[in-house]
């Protein structure tokens, strides 16, 4: 199919249906991953990374020996100088507010996973209070054990910062040493957390926002995403260098370049909401089959909630309440991080087994 390279006035045409329908289908079945690039965030109408670079040049000219603008990496005079710049960057992200609107649109869509190559947390407050995402980040210089994601379930949005967090100065990727460690740890052993790798491996669509496909961070992502998968890639608000580079990316990674993304993202949000409104009229009946379906999808909390609402037998009700207590204990211990992960896995598996047994034994409605 020949995807339009610039957004037409009417995005509801049959030609655009061929782009939107698979994307919406994958969103609905938790098979679409969003990837956010450093060319996305803006403040005062300007690219945020450009504003940051100007501040660093102005305030840290003695600390920075050289700035590689193409890769957005630095050479520092010494370790102390690097530490000063790390602090300044962290404070910049703490104090800076992005231009409104964009992140609210992103938060309105049910991406299975959002991977950001920027250390900011701009997306997190855009989610409604009753749907706050689980946040984690990859630390190229620290521990990235599985316990960091032990409390995350698939019915909750996950935002994962690949290039660190501004709240942890040393996790920022600022020079070629940092980049080398990131490549070595993210693509080596143990690599990304298993839960992140599993979602990436199961994804059928990747939606890129704010990338330059000629930069190192995009090449890293494409390699991570293409190991055992051949999904559809949609690239919006991106740059791809020269024509030869675009041709290579199209053939090698099946990337569809849409162009500027405001209109496309607006239309995607509109279509998703329309689809949800239509589905709401014929919402699934809360019965044993829905409980088992939710359990299979990894939405354990929601499955338990429905199970408690449909059980009639006092004996089964008591058992379901006990299972609910186990589940909340698992949630609390996971958040506290004080319990051995093996004990947590045992408790969680007991919860899932008992929900499955109770639902299976319920009579058909």
Residue 117 and residue 162 in contact, taking contact as beta carbons nearer than 8 Å: yes
Domains of the chain (ranges; CATH) run 14-42+96-276 (3.40.50.1220), 288-360 (no CATH)
* E strand segments, 49-195: 64-68, 73-76, 113-116, 134-137, 158-161
**Coil, helix or strand for 205?**
strand
**Coil, helix or strand for 100?**
coil
Global pTM reads 0.73
Greatest CA separation for the chain = 74
Residues lower than pLDDT 70 in the chain: 1-9, 144-145, 226-232, 235, 237-254, 259-261, 279-284, 335, 365
Q: How far apart are CA 275 and CA 28, in angstroms?
A: 10
pLDDT tens string 168-216:
999 999 999 999 888 888 887 778 888 898 898 888 888 888 887 777 7
Kindly tell me the sign of the dihedral angle through the C-alpha atoms of 176, 180, 185, 187: positive
Residue 139 and residue 145 in contact, taking contact as beta carbons nearer than 8 Å: no
Burial 153-171 (b: 16+ CB within 10 A, else e): bbbebbbbbbbbbbebbeb
pLDDT tens string 279-325:
665 556 788 888 998 888 888 888 898 898 888 888 888 899 999 99
């Amino acid at each position: 199919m020949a995807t339009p390279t610039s957004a037409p006035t009417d995005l509801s045409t049959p030609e655009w249906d061929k782009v939107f329908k698979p994307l919406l289908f994958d969103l609905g079945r938790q098979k679409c991953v969003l990837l956010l690039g450093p060319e996305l965030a803006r403040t005062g109408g300007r690219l945020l990374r450009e504003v940051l670079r100007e501040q660093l040049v102005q305030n840290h000219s003695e600390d920075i020996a050289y700035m590689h603008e193409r890769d957005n990496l630095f050479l520092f005079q010494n370790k102390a100088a690097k530490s000063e710049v790390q602090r300044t960057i962290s404070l910049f992200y703490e104090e800076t507010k992005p231009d409104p609107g964009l992140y609210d649109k992103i938060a309105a869509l049910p991406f299975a996973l959002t991977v950001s190559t920027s250390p900011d947390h701009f997306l997190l407050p855009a989610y409604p209070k009753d749907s706050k995402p689980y946040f984690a980040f990859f630390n190229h210089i620290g521990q990235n054990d599985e316990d960091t994601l032990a409390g995350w379930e698939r019915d909750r949005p996950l935002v994962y910062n690949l290039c660190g967090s501004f709240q942890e100065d040393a996790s920022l990727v600022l020079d070629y040493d940092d980049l080398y460690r990131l490549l070595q740890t993210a693509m080596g052993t143990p690599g990304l957390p298993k839960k992140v790798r599993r979602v990436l491996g199961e994804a059928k669509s990747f939606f890129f926002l704010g990338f330059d496909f000629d930069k190192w961070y995009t090449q890293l992502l494409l390699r991570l995403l293409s190991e055992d998968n051949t999904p559809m890639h949609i690239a919006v608000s991106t740059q791809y260098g020269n024509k030869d580079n675009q041709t290579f990316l199209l053939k090698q990674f099946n990337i569809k370049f849409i162009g500027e993304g405001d209109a496309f993202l607006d239309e995607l949000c509109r279509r998703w909401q329309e689809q949800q409104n239509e589905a709401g009229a014929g919402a699934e009946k809360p019965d044993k089959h829905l409980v088992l379906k939710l359990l299979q999808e990894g939405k354990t909390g929601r499955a338990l909630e429905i199970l408690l609402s449909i059980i009639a037998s006092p004996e089964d009700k008591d058992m379901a309440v006990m299972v609910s207590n186990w589940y909340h204990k698992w949630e609390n211990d996971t958040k506290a991080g004080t319990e051995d992960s093996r004990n947590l896995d045992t408790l969680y598996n007991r919860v899932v087994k008992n929900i499955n047994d109770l639902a299976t034994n319920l009579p058909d409605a």
